Amino acid sequence: MNMFSIFSATLAKPTTQVEEALYLLIKKGRMTRKDFFMETFILNAPMTILKLRRKGVNIVTDEIKKVNKFGRNIEYGSYRLLDKKEAIKIYKKLQK
């Protein structure tokens, strides 16, 4: 049984976009802007991440460097939680 399985049993389903973003970070560990859009249709993931940060969630943005299909160097961010247990506490508070 993985760590998320232990916690997910106690997590209610999200009811807002901000809760959904946090739920996915807890569940998957890391998400990119594209991941948020593909899974939840969140169009402005950076703003949603900012809202979570303002609520006390400690989210780190890791810089990913790749070469695109045209041979150009590109960079984008991947979001991850620094403290999953603390994020779960905040998630539960958001649900009240």
Phi, psi dihedral angles at 8 (to 5 degrees)? -65, -25
In the chain the domains, ranked by start, together with CATH numbers, are: 3-94 (1.10.10.10)
The mean pLDDT of 29-57, rounded to a whole number, is: 96
**Cα–Cα dist 37/88, whole Å:** 22
The pLDDT value recorded for residue 1 is: 47
Model pTM score? 0.84
Q: What gap in Å lies between CA 21 and CA 91, rounded to an integer?
A: 10
CA-derived radius of gyration, the chain: 14
Contact between 32 and 76 under an 8 Å Cβ cutoff? The reply is: yes
- How far apart are alpha carbons 93 and 78 in whole angstroms? 25
3 pLDDT exceeds 60? no
